[in-house]
Amino acid sequence: MPDHPPHHATIDDVARHAKVSIATVSRYINRSARVSPGTAARIEAAMTALAYQPTSAAQKLAGGKMNTIGLVVDEISGEFFQPMLRGIQAGASDAGYDLLIYSLRRTNRAGRYALGEKNCDGLVVFADSLPDDELCRLSETSFPVVLLHRSSPSGFNIPCVTIENKRGARDMVDYLIEQRGYRRIAFLRGHEGHEDSAWRETGYKESLAAHGLEYDSRLVGYGGFDEDIAKETVTQWLRRGITMDVIFAADDDSAIGAILAIKHCNRHVPQDIAVVGFDDIRLANYLDPPLTTVRAPIEEVSRTAVEKLVEVMHGHSVPPVTLLPTELRIRQSCGCC
Amino acid sequence: MPDHPPHHATIDDVARHAKVSIATVSRYINRSARVSPGTAARIEAAMTALAYQPTSAAQKLAGGKMNTIGLVVDEISGEFFQPMLRGIQAGASDAGYDLLIYSLRRTNRAGRYALGEKNCDGLVVFADSLPDDELCRLSETSFPVVLLHRSSPSGFNIPCVTIENKRGARDMVDYLIEQRGYRRIAFLRGHEGHEDSAWRETGYKESLAAHGLEYDSRLVGYGGFDEDIAKETVTQWLRRGITMDVIFAADDDSAIGAILAIKHCNRHVPQDIAVVGFDDIRLANYLDPPLTTVRAPIEEVSRTAVEKLVEVMHGHSVPPVTLLPTELRIRQSCGCC
DNA sequence: TTCAATCATGTAAACGCTTACAAAGCATAC
DNA sequence: GTATGCTTTGTAAGCGTTTACATGATTGAA
């Protein structure tokens, strides 16, 4: 008896074993039409006997649906990433989709984006990981896309899901002014193109204005969503003798940098200068002092993005913008106790 | 002019546009054979003109290779996960593979594993995310698999990549005994099935033995690789009046729990009881006091696992076990300063 | 009893590629 | 000028599914 190389069972094998046609097997597998109970049982038996597993590539080719959602990120890093992926994976899995991750810092071949229309049924695009024109191109072919932590390029109407950045920042600054009585409030902004940062800054400005405090550009610096950059900026401030009651960092990482800079200059948080952040990463609660921050429901947002994407893929329409609420997390770094 | 639904360009369209056969286009795309410069230029032009992109499903079906590596994890969580994914993605991307993530806490349909032979060219399996028999089944069909943070089921010879757990733990305990002079050293173990934990415990025991210290089972408890569990265990110890010089936690999360428990009982770290961990998660350096721990090169290990997997997929043989070295990170929680 | 409707199943044509094989073009060597 | 070999290209057969359409069996109503 010739023992062939372990050729994996195909749908033909199952059909033969169950004495039906491959069409019937396919129908049974996909529940795409009724098959009689007897036949169903024979097919089921054949499948287990042969340890049959559909070849997804063939299903994709023939069926036209990939059953795959793509996630585009620029880089896998930051405290941000894990809850995001967790949410995305959960959403995809619940909807019965596979997840393909495109990390564009490491694009495969010669700038040509390997992602997209042919290989996924839909795409979740994180922040500014994809240039606007690419986004527009995808949108024009009416390929399902949902944006995460950014809004649609103007003129287009790509649904987006993110958190209430402006509101969160506004709440935080309101709190600092109203409850803590601070007047000189510095702000550490994030990346240039990053919308989260821009909205948070807007919330900051609105709160100042609402309380009759003047916006002072010397109190706004670049934190880069990065511990080291923020540390450098704050150190410069302190060296130049710029004074402030509190530093509102656009994210927790830069808040950490701010705390470090203050300590390095032998000043105390929050007695000399208070510090607050945004995101509520795990670290926040373990810092010394524990960091007052705005909790961003990252996992929920990501999961929601996938849910919206699935809607779009099913041809339903979804609201152009979905915002999830934030929440103040008051700890010691703001001087509350 | 009838405007068809935006039918995506196929290889046929490109071939027609470039006035060559599809075979030539395919050869050009895959560089699988020489094509004359003139032809190449026409094909290239046609591809950009039509914004052509190969359909991966078709390539997979026809070519027999998926160009996809699967990563099997049980859950997307823990500080551990991000560096791991980062390493895996980097490795896969460098080797020109896509990455598919199987999170088995959320298996798709009725226990039938959708992963594997038909849909990836190879699999990286993390720790105990897959039962042994499943692993064996895969191995028997000589499907390329590499294990991450676990060893091969006995009788099989599946390559594995992990860190020098035993050696790392041994180094740490040696240090605690020789440099710090501790004698009563408690150990917080991790999950039952988790090999990392088992090896670390072995290293702990070996060091004790090598220094003529007796193994005291009352000083070994369950930390569960989890902050809360560890906290509970240590709290119990302290309540029962069990004394120790230092607690060696099998991972940093349980070390955090230990520190919390000690503080809750109004004792001081490291003056009353020192604490050390394992992994060197980001948090470690920000704790109060900063945590002495063993650095586990998680990202490098993951990346290496993919590299080994690619070797296996290419039919090369790889060493059955690859261990990456750890490194002591001495900070304040061990009482060094 | 007969005709239509319904149901379960089979047949065969895609889906968009890769690749073995064949053919054609064109030097080179005799 | 013909045989030889190399290079470039084309032809066509799959790869393992899904699904439109066809078929035969069964049922129910007239």
Asked if A221 and A235 count as a contact pair (C-beta separation under 8 A), the reply is no
A11-54 CATH fold: 434 Repressor (Amino-terminal Domain) (1.10.260)
The label of the residue with tokens 């690619």 reads B310
Asked if A93 and A67 count as a contact pair (C-beta separation under 8 A), the reply is no
B chain contacts of residue A119, beta-carbon cutoff 8 Å: 55-57
CA of A52 to C1' of D25 (A): 30
pLDDT in tens, A25-81: 999 999 999 999 999 999 999 999 998 888 888 998 998 887 889 898 888 877 888
For the domain spanning A165-297+328-334, the CATH number is 3.40.50.2300
Q: Which of A75-84, A254-263, B211-220, B319-328 has the lowest mean pLDDT?
A: A75-84
Cβ of B282 within 8 Å of Cβ of A98? The answer is no
User: What's the CA gap between B112 and B104, in Å, rounded?
Assistant: 11
Query: Quick one: which H or E segment has residue B123?
Result: strand B122-126
| pLDDT in the model for residue B114 | 54
Q: What are phi and psi of A123, to 5 degrees?
A: -135, 135
CA of A20 to C1' of C1 (A): 34
Mean pLDDT of B109-114: 44
Q: Report which of A280, A286, A315 is spatially closest to residue A300, judged by C-alpha positions.
A: A280
Residues 6+ apart with CB under 8 A from A138: A116, A117, A123, A145
- CATH 3.40.50.2300 residue window(s) in chain B: 68-163+298-324, 165-296+328-334
Q: Which of A68-77, A290-299, B223-232, B301-310 has the lowest mean pLDDT?
A: A68-77
Q: Which of A94-108, B37-51, B164-178 has the lowest mean pLDDT?
A: A94-108
Q: In this structure, is the CB of residue B35 within 7 Å of any atom belonging to strand C?
A: no
Asked if B55 and A61 count as a contact pair (C-beta separation under 8 A), the reply is yes
User: What's the CA gap between B241 and B244, in Å, rounded?
Assistant: 10
Asked if A169 and A200 count as a contact pair (C-beta separation under 8 A), the reply is yes
Q: Say which DSSP state B275 is in.
A: E
Side chain identity at residue A13, one-letter code: D
If one compares A272 and A6, the residue with the highest pLDDT of the two is A272
| pLDDT in the model for residue A114 | 54
User: How many CA atoms, within 13 angstroms, populate the side-chain half-sphere of residue A227?
Assistant: 10
Residues from B in contact with A at Cβ < 8 Å: 6, 8, 53-58, 60-61, 66, 76-77, 79, 81-82, 85-86, 89-90, 93-94, 96, 98-101, 103, 106, 108, 112, 114, 116-119, 137, 141-142, 256, 282-283, 286-288
Mean pLDDT of B271-298: 96
Distance of CA A60 to CAs A10, A67, B335, Å? 15, 8, 59
* Residue A109: band (very low, low, confident or very high) from pLDDT cuts 50, 70, 90: very low
Cβ of A94 within 8 Å of Cβ of B106? The answer is yes
Q: What are phi and psi of B259, to 5 degrees?
A: -60, -45
If one compares A325 and B288, the residue with the highest pLDDT of the two is A325
- CATH 3.40.50.2300 residue window(s) in chain A: 68-163+298-324, 165-297+328-334
Mean pLDDT of B253-263: 96
3-state SS class at A151: coil
Q: Which nucleotide is nearest to B27 (CA to C1')?
A: C18
Q: Compute the mean pLDDT over every residue in chain B, rounded to the nearest whole number.
A: 90
| pLDDT in the model for residue B38 | 92
| pLDDT in the model for residue A100 | 84
User: What are A254's two structure tokens?
Assistant: 């830069």
* Residue B165: band (very low, low, confident or very high) from pLDDT cuts 50, 70, 90: very high
- Check pLDDT > 50 for residue A5: no
B chain contacts of residue A112, beta-carbon cutoff 8 Å: 53
- Check pLDDT > 80 for residue A169: yes
Q: In this structure, is the CB of residue A11 within 7 Å of any atom belonging to strand D?
A: yes
Mean pLDDT of B134-141: 83
Q: In this structure, is the CB of residue B34 within 7 Å of any atom belonging to strand C?
A: no
One DSSP character per residue, B8-27 reads: PP-HHHHHHHHTS-HHHHHH
Mean pLDDT of A81-103: 88
Q: Which of A201-215, B126-140, B210-224 has the lowest mean pLDDT?
A: B126-140
- Check pLDDT > 70 for residue B110: no
Q: Report which of B296, B298, B293, B285 is spatially closest to residue B329, judged by C-alpha positions.
A: B293
- Check pLDDT > 70 for residue B209: yes
Residue in A closest to B91 by C-alpha: A106
Q: What are phi and psi of A78, to 5 degrees?
A: 85, 155
* Range with the largest mean pLDDT of A118-132, A209-223, B58-72: A209-223
Distance of CA A9 to CAs A4, A91, B119, Å? 12, 31, 13
Name beta bridge partners: A186.
A247
Least CB-CB distance to B53: which of A81, A118, A287?
A118
CATH code 3.40.190.10 for B68-163+298-324: no
3-state SS class at B110: coil
Q: How far is B237 from chain A (nearest CA, A)?
A: 24
Our CA angle for B58, B63, B64, nearest 5°, is 105
* Nucleic acid strand C: bases within 7 A of protein CB: 7-12, 14-20
Q: How far is B280 from chain A (nearest CA, A)?
A: 14
Interface size A-B, in CB pairs within 8 Å, comes to 109
* Range with the largest mean pLDDT of A47-56, A105-114, A144-153, B94-103: A144-153
Cβ of B106 within 8 Å of Cβ of A89? The answer is yes
Residues 6+ apart with CB under 8 A from B311: B317, B318
CA of A34 to C1' of C3 (A): 25
Least CB-CB distance to B85: which of A76, A117, A119?
A76
- CATH 1.10.260.40 residue window(s) in chain A: 11-54
CA of B27 to C1' of D12 (A): 16
Asked if B215 and B205 count as a contact pair (C-beta separation under 8 A), the reply is yes
CA of A37 to C1' of D29 (A): 27
* Residue B324: band (very low, low, confident or very high) from pLDDT cuts 50, 70, 90: very high
Q: In this structure, is the CB of residue B63 within 7 Å of any atom belonging to strand C?
A: yes
Asked if B62 and B39 count as a contact pair (C-beta separation under 8 A), the reply is no
For the domain spanning B165-296+328-334, the CATH number is 3.40.50.2300
